[in-house]
A and B are shown apart, each in its own frame.
Chain A
Amino acid sequence: AQSVTQPDIHITVSEGASLELRCNYSYGATPYLFWYVQSPGQGLQLLLKYFSGDTLVQGIKGFEAEFKRSQSSFNLRKPSVHWSDAAEYFCAVGLSFGAGTTVTVRA
């Protein structure tokens, strides 16, 4: 069975600082991996996805994620955070979603 763990419930970061959100998954085969962002009162927007090939994937809004099979991880990163990045971020494996990480951006 697929499962997704996002160890950090809440992260606070200063505007302009880097951001890394952790995601670990459990899945037997090569997984379909996704990161979504949800702003308050909104639906989920796909940031990026990984199926195969280059393990470093680029997404929208300046985000990237790296697939590490040996660590069963698919961490999301952004070099410089903007205030508009404050939202909830979800990692997904196939149809299963993690619990989400809420990102707060301080000025």
Chain B
Amino acid sequence: DSGVTQTPKHLITATGQRVTLRCSPRSGDLSVYWYQQSLDQGLQFLIQYYNGEERAKGNILERFSAQQFPDLHSELNLSSLELGDSALYFCASSPGDSPNEAFFGQGTRLTVV
């Protein structure tokens, strides 16, 4: 158990819909990272938040957004969902603002039908 909690574990939704994925980092970790893992794209870094502020941005679509709340949990919002958004979404956390000891959650498997 990495200490990073992601909910829900599985999500099935229809095209055009909006979903929210939630991540609770390890106790004391200030950074949260979001990744998308798909068969064709591999593991893609989406975005990082550090202590409530956006710190780094990767290949995140405009239809996707994220935020980190004062209690340090984070949410990834995916809207206008397309079939191609079906993937495993991972959250990771680390103590500081660099991924020198990033711990990953179990992921949320999103299926868009």
Contact (A42, B106) CB under 8 Å given A49-B100, A51-B100, A100-B43? yes
Q: Do the beta carbons of A46 and B101 come within 8 Å of each other?
A: yes
| Nearest residue, chain B, Cβ from A36 | B104
Is B48 at the interface (CB under 8 A from chain A)? yes
B49 contacts chain A at the CB level, 8 A cutoff: no
How many residues of A are counted as interface, with CB atoms below 8 angstroms from the partner's CB atoms?
A: 19
Q: Could you tell me if A90 and B56 are in contact, using CB atoms closer than 8 angstroms?
A: no
**Complex contact A95–B56 (CB within 8 A):** yes
- Asked if B58 is at the interface (CB within 8 A of a chain A CB), the reply is yes
Given contacts A32-B98, A95-B48, A97-B42, contact A46 B33 (CB under 8 A): no
Minimum CB–CB distance from B108 to chain A (whole Å) comes to: 11
Beyond A95-B48, A95-B56, A97-B43, whether A44 also contacts B100 by CB under 8 A is: no
A43 with B99: in contact, given A97-B42, A97-B43 (CB under 8 Å)? no
Known: A97-B45, A100-B43. A32 touches B105 (CB 8 A): no
Contact B99 A95 (CB under 8 A): yes
User: Which residues of chain B in 19-68 are interfacial with respect to chain A, using CB atoms and an 8 Å cutoff?
Assistant: 33, 35, 42-45, 48, 56, 58
B residues whose Cβ falls under 8 Å from a Cβ of A = 2, 4, 33, 35, 42-45, 48, 56, 58, 90, 92, 98-107
Chain A interface residues (CB < 8 Å from chain B): 32, 34, 36, 42-46, 49, 51, 90, 92, 94-100
Q: What would 17 A/B residue contacts be, using CB atoms closer than 8 Å?
A: A32-B98, A34-B99, A36-B104, A42-B106, A43-B2, A43-B105, A43-B106, A43-B107, A46-B102, A46-B103, A49-B101, A90-B43, A94-B98, A94-B99, A95-B45, A95-B48, A96-B45
